[in-house]
Structure 1
Amino acid sequence: MEAVVGLVVMLLAVSHGVETKCDVRQKDGAQCYGALGGTVVLQLMDRVPERFTIEKKTIKILIWKKNEISQNINEVKYSFTSSDGTFRINNLIRSDTDEYTLKIRNSNGALLEVRTLQLSIQAPVSSVRLVSECLSQGEMRMSCSSEGGDSPQYSWTLDGRTLTEDKLLSGNHETDSITLRQDVSGVLLCSVKNHVSHLQKYQSISTCGFIFINCTESDETRITQWVFAANNKLCVEQTTTPTAPDTTVDPSVICGVQTAVAALLFIGIAAYFAWRKKKSQRAEGSAMPQEREYPETSV
């Protein structure tokens, strides 16, 4: 049980132990921010003067004199490091939001310089949540919410690039809720930050299943709209495969054709041999000697 309690305390210390820094050297009226429950480190100077005071409104919270702190109203909360000229305010609470004044004096107490700064305490962002919702026309609404942060600022990117207007139907890349167009997909990232924290949450998104119809129906009606692909019945082309003609031939027809071809072939062969025979007979007749007849009155 003690180990569990110790772990919880450690986690709380880590989550509330945010340290921020603010450089106020040679600056008057600087704006600084600290995380609620954390520490702010104010860079006041490079060279430590002989005497100076730090005041919160009119209350002196720290006095430096003769190279040491001569007065500190709360040593746990306020500390000054002479080696680097930094002033730390620990365990920040809401009431630490105020104006602080640095007054530098010489050894005689004469005022040499006065500088002021405004410190604002903010709660850091503790978590980020993304919620997606498909709308009736295929648009996608994305909501980014955060917990624990004061004055959170939002920004969106898609695939590592700033989300542009051509991807959006409403909202912009600096709002907590946006509506994406029907064809947008990729890795969407929401960043939430304030002056003391910065958290991010990403989600891989795809389209809501809609397609864009741009065609003309059979009745000459022009269709241009987004429809859910699974239920689409607009401008659907006929995909029925035409029936191939029946090429089966009756066996009796094949048999008849074969018989006719055989008969023609037989007649052709017979005619050819008859022609050869007749030609041969003519040739033999022309080769025999002719008997000549003479009239009786011939000598």
Structure 2
Amino acid sequence: MQAVIGLLVMMLGASYGLETHCDCRQDGAHCFGPLGGTAVLQLMDRALETERYKLYKSSDKTTLILTVINNKIVNNFIQNRSSFNLGDGKFRVNNLSRTDSDEYHFEISDGINIKENRSLRLTIQAPVSSARLASECLSQGEKRVSCSSGGGDSPQYNWTLDGRSLTDTELLSVNTETNSITLRQHVSGAVACSVENNVSRFCGFTFIKCTSNETQISQWVFAANNMLCFEPTTPPTTISESSTVAHHSLLVCGVRAAVVVFALIGIAVYFAWKNKNYKKAEGSAYRPEREHQDESVVMVEM
């Protein structure tokens, strides 16, 4: 089971499908792109027919990447993995590699004079692929939790307890070399470690409780890429995230089904009551004069 979960975590951490966005409409923008993923560069609001645009790679403008003249793409030398949208001014580059890390220059002119010349820096980073937690109970009831990432460039680690920052009364020590923390004796709950860099983020959770006469540890890992971390509110009953999701889905479906059933019952009761009052009013109005005819009409309607 652990091997299967580890494989799923690695699959979720793959860089394929990752996408970053960067506003390059100001000079000196620093953009980051995921290795193997996509970077979307906002070069302008939209292309104008009266202006010409050129995008160069390298600081000395030796490599021309893109040329737009009269609102038409004249050249795109990496068109096999990129596209430029004239309507919104976004340049999308796919399948990023380490060689894409460089300084770029974007030039705007009227065909004769250069109106604007902007530079931007694009840095390609390998995304983190997982957040692995390990926890243990110490002899005096303290809890030590360590966190490690599955690859990734320049990972940063952050800790929370039940969705909030740890306080000095809860935290005994922090070891930045091993990316581990030690919690005091009275502390228990959902400890979360987020591992992130400029192109990705993963979160791991562990629920740990230690007592003086016995050790009780339960933990599981939840991976999320480019998403916020969602902390659990109760201890997990299984290490499998899929089971937790399935139970939650069944609960939601059950609640929705109950709402529908009660709504149908309410509608049926309302129409039955309305029909009963209608018949009562009709009978009181006509029964003394046309009793037999009313009964025949009711039978026909039924």
Band of TM-score, shorter chain: 0.5 to 0.7
Instruction: Say if 1:34 and 1:196, in contact at 8 Å, map to a contact too.
Output: yes
Instruction: Say if 2:104 and 2:120, in contact at 8 Å, map to a contact too.
Output: yes
Residue 23 of structure 1 aligns to which amino acid in structure 2? Answer: D
**SS of aligned partner of 1:95:** helix
Q: Which position in structure 2 is the counterpart of 1:19?
A: 19
How far the C-alpha of 1:193 sits from its partner, in A, is 1.1
Instruction: Say if 1:153 and 1:174, in contact at 8 Å, map to a contact too.
Output: no
**Does 2:140 correspond to 1:142?**
no
How far the C-alpha of 1:138 sits from its partner, in A, is 2.8
Instruction: Say if 2:53 and 2:109, in contact at 8 Å, map to a contact too.
Output: yes
Per the alignment, do residues 69 and 13 of structure 1 end up closer, same or farther by CA in structure 2, a change over 3 Å counting?
farther
State the TM-score, normalized to the length of structure 1: 0.62
Residue 97 of structure 1 aligns to which amino acid in structure 2? Answer: S
Q: Which position in structure 1 is the counterpart of 2:27?
A: 28
**Does 2:133 correspond to 1:130?**
yes
How far the C-alpha of 1:124 sits from its partner, in A, is 1.1
Q: 1:1-299 counterparts in 2 under 5 A?
A: 15-25=15-25, 27-49=26-48, 50-57=51-58, 58=61, 59-106=63-110, 108-171=111-174, 176-209=179-212
CA–CA separation in structure 2 for the residues paired with 1:178 and 1:119: 34
Quick check: which has more Rg, 1 or 2? 1
CA–CA separation in structure 2 for the residues paired with 1:122 and 1:101: 21
CA–CA separation in structure 1 for the residues paired with 2:181 and 2:12: 33
Give unpaired runs (5+ residues) of structure 1: 1-7, 212-299
How far the C-alpha of 1:207 sits from its partner, in A, is 2.2
Instruction: Say if 1:182 and 1:210, in contact at 8 Å, map to a contact too.
Output: no
CA–CA separation in structure 1 for the residues paired with 2:211 and 2:148: 22
Residue 207 of structure 1 aligns to which amino acid in structure 2? Answer: C
Per the alignment, do residues 130 and 29 of structure 1 end up closer, same or farther by CA in structure 2, a change over 3 Å counting?
same
**SS of aligned partner of 2:99:** helix
**SS of aligned partner of 2:169:** helix
Residue 88 of structure 2 aligns to which amino acid in structure 1? Answer: D
Kindly, what percent of the aligned residue pairs are identical? 55
* Number of matched pairs: 200
**SS of aligned partner of 1:76:** coil
How far the C-alpha of 1:109 sits from its partner, in A, is 2.7
CA–CA separation in structure 2 for the residues paired with 1:201 and 1:46: 39
**SS of aligned partner of 1:161:** coil
How far the C-alpha of 1:13 sits from its partner, in A, is 11
Residue 21 of structure 1 aligns to which amino acid in structure 2? Answer: H
Greater relative CO (CA pairs within 8 A, separation 6+): 2
Superposed CA RMSD? 2.5
CA–CA separation in structure 1 for the residues paired with 2:165 and 2:175: 10
Per the alignment, do residues 56 and 210 of structure 1 end up closer, same or farther by CA in structure 2, a change over 3 Å counting?
farther
Instruction: Say if 2:42 and 2:89, in contact at 8 Å, map to a contact too.
Output: yes
